[in-house]
Amino acid sequence: SQKIEQNSEALNIQEGKTATLTCNYTNYSPAYLQWYRQDPGRGPVFLLLIRENEKEKRKERLKVTFDTTLKQSLFHITASQPADSATYLCALGGNTGFQKLVFGTGTRLLVSP
Amino acid sequence: GAVVSQHPSRVICKSGTSVKIECRSLDFQATTMFWYRQFPKQSLMLMATSNEGSKATYEQGVEKDKFLINHASLTLSTLTVTSAHPEDSSFYICSAPDHTEAFFGQGTRLTVV
């Protein structure tokens, strides 16, 4: 069955460092992968989309890589800030309709001042 | 960006009663909306796909008679949890896709007592 794995343990880093979150998947060939931010008690907010034919995407302090051979995406936040503290979800789409997403469980990021 | 408004944000109901949750796309038309459920520290699980003007498509294991979905206009989808039980207590989130991005509502915290 399809499986999307994100590190369930919280990632604690110091302000100013680069945070790197991992998303691994099995039994899936997504056309694209998305990253979302979710704050407690709120709905997810879209951050970045990367397609299967793209290796890397950047947006301000965010960088996403997508390796379809390893079936892995890495999500980086450079110069992290306490305001970046949240849960980050990866989502895969494209197999059963372009906009139908399958979500990972998310990784909680805690950035200390 | 596009805005999806979900209402109510929190609701407490008695066991056996029904609860309606509304999801509106405020500045774009959504022929398709998705309804998710999220239990604590778990991933968003897709419950159903709401299609304007036609029947909703339910994911495997989701009871269509219990979770009634109506998508009567291009900007409004509703989810009614009928005969709610404590095990239905969860965080319900709707989303509406706009091109390659999914916009999420704020979520509804349902507590059945």
- Read off the pLDDT of each residue in A21-29 and give the average, rounded to a whole number: 93
Task: List the single residue in B32, B45, B107 with the smallest CB-CB distance to A43.
Answer: B107
B62-105 pLDDT tens trace? 999 999 999 989 999 999 999 999 999 999 999 998 777 789 99
Strand-pair partners of B69? B79
Interface test with A, best of B44, B59, B90, B99 (most A CBs within 10 A): B44
Extract the tokens encoding B61: 């294991």
CB contact under 8 A, A41 and B97: no
- Read off the pLDDT of each residue in B42-60 and give the average, rounded to a whole number: 91
Task: List the single residue in B32, B42, B49 with the smallest CB-CB distance to A105.
Answer: B42
A62-99 pLDDT tens trace? 999 999 999 999 999 999 999 999 999 999 987 555 57
Task: List the single residue in B32, B42, B93 with the smallest CB-CB distance to A43.
Answer: B93
Q: Is A3's Cβ below 8 Å from some Cβ in B? A: no
Q: How sure is the predictor about A48, in pLDDT bands with cuts at 50, 70 and 90?
A: very high
What is the distance, to the nearest Å, from the Cα of residue A17 to the centroid of all Cα atoms in its chain?
Answer: 18
Q: Is B35's Cβ below 8 Å from some Cβ in A? A: no
Q: Is B108's Cβ below 8 Å from some Cβ in A? A: no
Instruction: Give how far Cα B71 sits from Cα of A27, B12, B22, B32, B40, Å.
Output: 32, 24, 10, 9, 28
pLDDT of residue B72: 83
Q: Is A2's Cβ below 8 Å from some Cβ in B? A: no
Residue of B nearest to A89 (CA): B43
> Pick the residue with more confidence: A100 or B80?
B80
CB contact under 8 A, B93 and A49: no
3-state helix, strand, coil in chain B (%, to 5): 5, 55, 40
Long-range contacts of A16-21 (CB under 8 A, 24+ apart): A16/A79, A16/A80, A17/A80, A18/A76, A18/A77, A18/A78, A18/A79, A18/A80, A19/A76, A19/A77, A19/A80, A19/A84, A19/A109, A19/A111, A20/A74, A20/A75, A20/A76, A21/A74, A21/A75, A21/A76, A21/A88, A21/A90, A21/A107, A21/A109
Q: How sure is the predictor about B1, in pLDDT bands with cuts at 50, 70 and 90?
A: low
Average pLDDT value over all residues in chain B = 93
pLDDT of residue A97: 56
pLDDT of residue A39: 94
Q: How sure is the predictor about A12, in pLDDT bands with cuts at 50, 70 and 90?
A: very high
- One-letter amino acid of A87: T
Residue of B nearest to A32 (CA): B100
Q: How sure is the predictor about B53, in pLDDT bands with cuts at 50, 70 and 90?
A: confident
